[in-house]
Amino acid sequence: MRASKIKKSYTDYGGNGDVFILLHGFLSSSKYWNKIQPLLSESGVRVITIDLLGFGAAPKPKQSRYDYDAHTQHLDDVLGYLKISTTVTIIGHSMGALVASNFTKQNPGKVQSLILLHPPLYKDILDARNTLRETGRLYRFLLDSKYRHFGWIFMRTFFRYQLGRHTRLSREKSLKNVIEATEIFGELENVDVDTLLLTGSKDRPEYRKNLKNAPMSSRVVLVEEDVSHHSPVKNPAMVYGVIGEFLDRELVKS
């Protein structure tokens, strides 16, 4: 990937402390972190927000499968471009949490800590597809209707400040090849780095149901708060506090 395209994919806020990589969720962009990033930067860590492949200012290659390999390769390309040789802490929200978890599985030596905020917790492809389509008529229309293109034009027109720039391919393939093809429970069972999993009582009820009796690595710290899926935007102070408590616990342990 050309360096000029990689350079547009991230914002490095500087700092001399540990490196924190922030990955946004589906249909969003690195702007999603506008309320969390200042809190982290003020603590002295080096914060880098990255647009996922196909979203925001990141490249949107037409030939990409937008699967786990493509998304993790994009993340690796950015880290390589920045010449980051130390281990990093990755914070991912929603689909960004899925990418972060998969990247850690593929590159355990590059990740110091993993922080997963509201990842989609589906058991398998069928569970994901059924749950998404049972959300309501609008979801089914946007996902499956042959006229869905017009629905997304409407969404981009009236919700342009909430939606990151993307293409039909990056949207539909990321949904199919990342969210619906999730491997999150297998990764949580086998993860070998200290991991925070934050869920919300106002998240999809299927997530809490699927978490029950799910095998987890001893490295996973599970926290549930009385918040919705978008707590990094609606409750940034709470999220920052949970992250800080987790990291303090890990520092004490080490």
pLDDT in tens, 43-94: 999 999 999 999 999 999 999 999 999 999 999 999 999 999 899 999 999 9
- What is the 3-state composition of the chain as percent helix, strand, coil, each rounded to the nearest 5? 45, 15, 35
Sign of the C-alpha dihedral, residues 90, 38, 230, 160? negative
The helix (run of H) or strand (run of E) holding residue 151 is helix 148-158
pLDDT for 27: 87
pLDDT band at residue 153 using 50, 70 and 90 as cut-offs: low
pLDDT for 149: 75
pLDDT for 254: 44
Share of the chain above pLDDT 90, in %: 75
* Tokens 């917790």 found at: 121
Helix (H, G, I), strand (E, B) or coil at 34: coil
In whole angstroms, give the CA distance from residue 163 to residue 184.
Answer: 25
- Domain map of the chain by residue range? 3-253
For the whole model, what pTM was predicted?
A: 0.92
The pLDDT of 202-219, averaged and rounded, is 94
Task: For the domain covering 3-253, report its CATH number.
Answer: 3.40.50.1820
pLDDT band at residue 253 using 50, 70 and 90 as cut-offs: low
Whole-number average pLDDT of the chain: 90
pLDDT band at residue 112 using 50, 70 and 90 as cut-offs: very high
